Structure 1
Amino acid sequence: MWHQQELRLAPRPRGFHLITDEVSSAVSGLRDLSVGLLHLQLLHTSASLTLNENADPDVRHDLDAFLRERIPGDLPYFRHTLEGPDDMPAHVCASLLGTQLTLAVRNGRLSLGTWQGIWLGEHRDHGGARRLIATLQGE
């Protein structure tokens, strides 16, 4: 079985946001699979997807603080500045963290570790709504 759909995520402030439940509930056919894969592709270059700690929000805060300190918006060698001082740093963060995840599906659910969750990294101050392509395969 193959299924593909586009998911739209509401705008979020800059930072990292846990979206596991939102994705799991929105993907049609996930509950019907005994074994499979879910591939998520974020259709943007200034946001990211990553798999990390799902329990303590301090982890999301700390990763955001780490990235903001190392990739500030005022680096003098950035040339791509027409879209604002947060745009080029957002592209760097998205490239470092990535915009795709492939996750195992087992018995109708994402097969994640006890403390794992899907994060959306919003790297712009006002990034707007984000779109994901979700491709599900399995049996």
Structure 2
Amino acid sequence: MWHQQELRLAPRSHGFHLITDEIAGGLEKLSEVKVGLLHLQLLHTSASLTLNENADPDVRHDLDAFLRERVPGDLPYFRHTLEGPDDMPAHVCASLLGTQLTLAVRDGRLALGTWQGIWLGEHRDHGGARRLIATLQGE
């Protein structure tokens, strides 16, 4: 079975946001898959997807602080500045973390570790709504 759908995520503030429940709850056919894979592709170049800690929000804060320190918005050699000072740093962060995830599916659920969750990294100050393509394959 193959199933593909687009999911729309509400606008979020700059930082990392746990979106596991939003993804799993939005997948129409997830409960039908006994064994398979879910591929998520974020359709943006200034946000990211990653798999990390799902319990302590300090982890999300700390990763955001780490990236802001290493990729500040005022680097004098950035040329791509027409969309604002946060745009090029957002592209750098999205490239570093990636915009795709492939996850195992088992018995109609995402097969995540106990402390794993799907994060949306919003790297713009006002990124707006985000879209992703979810492709589910399995039996």
Aligning the two structures, in what range does the TM-score lie when normalised by the shorter sequence? over 0.9
Alignment of 1:62 with 2:62, yes or no, is: yes
Alignment of 1:104 with 2:104, yes or no, is: yes
Note the C-alpha offset of 1:136.
0.2
TM-score, scaled to structure 1: 1.00
Aligned to 2:131, the other structure's residue is in SS state: strand
Note the C-alpha offset of 1:28.
1.1
1:57-103 Cα offsets, whole Å, 9 max, x none, are 00000000000000000000000000000000000000000000000
1:23-68 Cα offsets, whole Å, 9 max, x none, are 0000111001110000000000000000000000000000000000
List gaps (5 residues or longer) in structure 2: none
2:120 matched residue in structure 1: 120
1:36 matched residue in structure 2: 36
Distance 2:33 2:78 in 1: 46
Alignment RMSD (CA, Å): 0.3
2:72 matched residue in structure 1: 72
Aligned to 1:78, the other structure's residue is in SS state: coil
Alignment of 1:25 with 2:14, yes or no, is: no
Query: 4+ residue stretches of structure 1 with deviation over 2 A?
Result: none
1:134 matched residue in structure 2: 134
Distance 2:33 2:76 in 1: 51
Distance 1:77 1:98 in 2: 23
Q: Output the amino acid matched with 2:19.
A: I
2:93 matched residue in structure 1: 93
Q: Output the amino acid matched with 1:132.
A: L
Q: Output the amino acid matched with 1:133.
A: I
Q: Output the amino acid matched with 1:87.
A: D
Alignment of 1:2 with 2:2, yes or no, is: yes
Distance 1:128 1:79 in 2: 23
Aligned to 1:66, the other structure's residue is in SS state: helix
Kindly, what percent of the aligned residue pairs are identical?
A: 88
List gaps (5 residues or longer) in structure 1: none
